């Protein structure tokens, strides 16, 4: 039937299978939770951190590879939405405005997931949150078999919740276990390449799988990749301070051996907590505005890009190849951003990626006759993808470095959740027929993106070369 399952009745085995997933996924999540919550007590002034001289070991490399793979498949799921929409709309016989409910619901899920998993990371630990996200990620791959559009909406909300929860926790965990001298470049490089890799994997999968196997194959691939990530989770450690606060001394000693973690006294901070909270308030405002601006570009413009290219006369396969070619150009730029972040300035590297995104928006305002050239179109899309991926690759690590342990997960989750809110708003506009074009969206987003650059420049602080214990006390 060519993968055409629209309005196919559910047989008893399908009903039983869905019921088992509905029962098994919550039970698996419950089983993954630790017996005790973490307690951020008055002894939180003692930090567990690797000394500045700690070398980058094979244990660190193993964690990086697993989390890189996690970011790729985590980013791949929502990035696939743009490639799924045209085929889904044709199979279900629904207009484009109705199809917009899918990214709308999925983005609501990612927003909820970012806030929820950020809280879980602070309460139950970083590793546990990643496991919970992956369990839901595997369960929601069943949306590739849904015969009704409404069932796709339900599953995509849960898929979005799982995908939105992993990203902020990955940055939080990396910030806490990497050697201080490697932390900055590792956070940006692994985050940036993971995000670009996810978008590249989504476009490549659409180019290879969709022509022969249909759009459903792009959802079903989440099952084997999620199972593989669960198998690799054994290489992920828990945050050292969570182990210490829960009295898991044996695991903490094992971490000390593998990752060079030692008990260190925090830098004395005479500043009152209320004053520190006041300083964080301005920084949080700047980061949230930057995240909101990013979300309007990423989800309001790039999400509809495959459909926009097809409306301009490009085939679905050619549109996927154009985006894949553009994503390839982003990889060396991410490496350069990581170098700037760790060697020059964390704050001004973030401002620079925002300005680069502004340049991409300006390119999208070129005349249609100029953009009709495939080379120019690839260049404009490449600048946008480079700027967007570079910006989020720097934004979340920067947030993870700026907040204390007890609030790091929630603060990073707040910024990550804000990076989805704008997308929810844009997709809400699409539901009433206000679907953005490349040029129209670019013109609308120039001003808020410029404002975010100014706010970060004013309220941001430098984190390069400073340990977490020093940043927490200042």
Which band of pLDDT confidence, cut at 50, 70 and 90, is reported for residue 325?
low
Distances in whole angstroms, Cα of residue 158 to Cα of each of 139, 141, 155: 9, 10, 5
- pLDDT higher for 15 or 314? 15
* 17 in a structural domain: no
* 26 in a structural domain: no
The string of DSSP codes covering 92-138 is HT--HHHHTHHHHHHHHHHHHHHHHHHHHHHHH-HHHHHHHHHHHHH
Quote the tokens at residue 63. Answer: 């964690």
State how far Cα 18 lies from the chain centre.
27
Highest mean pLDDT out of 44-53, 277-286, 289-298: 289-298
- pLDDT higher for 96 or 277? 96
User: What is residue 224's predicted lDDT score, i.e. its pLDDT?
Assistant: 87
* 452 in a structural domain: yes
- Span 21-26, mean pLDDT? 87
Expressed as residue numbers, the domain containing 364 is 50-465
- Span 366-380, mean pLDDT? 66
Which band of pLDDT confidence, cut at 50, 70 and 90, is reported for residue 301?
low
Which band of pLDDT confidence, cut at 50, 70 and 90, is reported for residue 300?
low
What is the total count of domains within the chain? 1
- pLDDT higher for 320 or 17? 17
User: What is residue 351's predicted lDDT score, i.e. its pLDDT?
Assistant: 92
Residue 5 belongs to what H/E stretch?
none
Could you report the per-residue pLDDT of 188-219, keeping only the tens digit for each? 887 777 777 787 788 888 888 877 787 888 88
- Span 218-229, mean pLDDT? 85
- Statement: residue 429 has pLDDT above 50: yes
- Statement: residue 270 has pLDDT above 50: no
Highest mean pLDDT out of 40-54, 221-235, 239-253, 415-429: 221-235
* 383 in a structural domain: yes
Of 14, 137, 155, nearest to 73 (Cα)?
137
- pLDDT higher for 139 or 199? 139
SS3 49: strand
* 119 in a structural domain: yes
Highest mean pLDDT out of 42-56, 189-203, 349-363, 385-399: 349-363
Of 138, 153, 145, nearest to 233 (Cα)?
138
Quote the tokens at residue 352. Answer: 């620079």
Which of 44-48, 98-102, 170-174 is predicted with the least confidence, judged by mean pLDDT? Answer: 44-48
Could you report the per-residue pLDDT of 375-426, keeping only the tens digit for each? 677 777 777 777 887 788 788 888 888 887 778 888 888 888 888 887 788 7
* 220 in a structural domain: yes
- Statement: residue 257 has pLDDT above 70: yes
User: What is residue 266's predicted lDDT score, i.e. its pLDDT?
Assistant: 53
Which band of pLDDT confidence, cut at 50, 70 and 90, is reported for residue 43?
very low
| Percent of all residues in the chain with a pLDDT value above 70, rounded to a whole number | 82
* 4 in a structural domain: no
CA atoms within 13 A on the CB side of 83: 33
Which band of pLDDT confidence, cut at 50, 70 and 90, is reported for residue 361?
confident
User: What is residue 348's predicted lDDT score, i.e. its pLDDT?
Assistant: 92
Write b or e for each residue in 187-226: b if 16 or more Cβ atoms lie within 10 A of its Cβ, otherwise e.
bbbbbbbbbbbbbbbbbbbbbebbeeebbbbbbbbbbebb
- Statement: residue 182 has pLDDT above 60: yes
* Other beta carbons less than 10 A from residue 267's beta carbon: 14
pTM: 0.75
Which residues are bridge partners to 262 per DSSP? 49
Contact 104, 153 (CB under 8 A): no
* Other beta carbons less than 10 A from residue 364's beta carbon: 23
- pLDDT higher for 278 or 432? 432
Q: Which residues contact 1 (CB under 8 A, 6 or more apart)?
A: none
Residue 215 belongs to what H/E stretch?
none
Please work out, in degrees rounded to the nearest 5, the angle formed at the alpha carbon of residue 196 by the alpha carbons of 316 and 160: 75
Phi, psi for 49 (deg, rounded to 5): -150, 150
- CATH for 426: 1.20.1250.20
Q: How far apart are CA 72 and CA 74, in angstroms?
A: 5
Which residue has tokens 């989805």? 420
- Statement: residue 336 has pLDDT above 70: yes
- Distance from the first to the final alpha carbon of the chain: 63
Of 326, 256, 204, 284, nearest to 51 (Cα)?
256
* 315 in a structural domain: yes
Which of 171-175, 322-326, 328-332 is predicted with the least confidence, judged by mean pLDDT? Answer: 322-326
């Amino acid at each position: 039937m060519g993968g055409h399952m629209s309005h196919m009745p559910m047989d008893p085995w399908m009903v039983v299978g869905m019921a088992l997933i509905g029962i098994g996924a919550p039970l698996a999540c419950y089983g993954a939770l630790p017996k005790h919550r973490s307690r951020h007590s008055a002894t939180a002034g003692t930090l567990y951190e690797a000394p500045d001289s700690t070398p980058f070991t094979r244990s660190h490399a193993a964690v990086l590879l697993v989390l890189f793979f996690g970011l790729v498949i985590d980013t791949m799921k929502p990035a696939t939405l743009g490639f799924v929409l045209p085929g889904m709309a044709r199979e279900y016989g629904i207009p484009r405005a109705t199809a917009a409910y899918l990214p709308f619901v999925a983005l609501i899920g990612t927003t909820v997931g970012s806030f929820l998993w950020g809280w879980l990371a602070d309460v139950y630990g970083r590793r546990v949150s990643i496991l919970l996200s992956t369990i839901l990620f595997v369960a929601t791959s069943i949306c590739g078999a849904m015969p009704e559009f409404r069932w796709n909406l339900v599953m995509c909300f849960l898929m979005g919740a799982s995908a939105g929860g992993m990203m902020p926790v990955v940055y939080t965990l990396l910030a806490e276990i990497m050697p201080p001298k490697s932390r900055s470049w590792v956070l940006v490089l692994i985050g940036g390449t993971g995000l670009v890799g996810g978008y590249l994997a989504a476009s490549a999968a659409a180019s290879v799988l969709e022509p022969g196997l249909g759009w459903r194959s792009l959802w079903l691939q989440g099952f084997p990749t999620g199972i593989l990530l669960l198998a690799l989770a054994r290489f992920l450690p828990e945050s050292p301070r969570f182990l210490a606060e829960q009295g898991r001394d044996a695991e903490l000693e094992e971490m000390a051996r593998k990752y060079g973690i030692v008990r260190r006294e925090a830098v004395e901070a005479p500043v009152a907590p209320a004053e520190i909270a006041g300083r964080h308030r301005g920084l949080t405002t700047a980061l949230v505005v930057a995240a909101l601006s990013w979300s309007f570009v990423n989800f309001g413009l790039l999400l509809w890009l495959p459909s926009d290219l097809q409306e301009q006369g490009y085939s679905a396969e050619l549109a996927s190849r154009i985006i894949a070619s553009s994503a390839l150009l982003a990889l060396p730029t991410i490496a350069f951003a990581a170098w700037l972040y760790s060697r020059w300035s964390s704050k001004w590297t973030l401002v620079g990626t925002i300005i680069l995104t502004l340049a991409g928006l300006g390119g999208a305002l070129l005349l249609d006759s100029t953009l009709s050239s495939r080379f120019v179109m690839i260049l404009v899309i490449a600048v946008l993808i480079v700027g967007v991926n570079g910006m989020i690759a720097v934004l979340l690590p920067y947030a993870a470095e700026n907040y204390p342990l007890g609030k790091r997960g929630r603060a990073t989750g707040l910024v990550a959740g804000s990076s989805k809110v704008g997308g929810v708003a844009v997709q809400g506009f699409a539901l009433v027929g206000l679907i953005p074009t490349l040029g129209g969206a670019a013109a609308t987003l120039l001003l808020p993106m410029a404002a975010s650059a100014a706010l970060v420049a004013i309220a941001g602080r430098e984190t390069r070369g400073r340990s977490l214990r020093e940043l927490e006390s200042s």
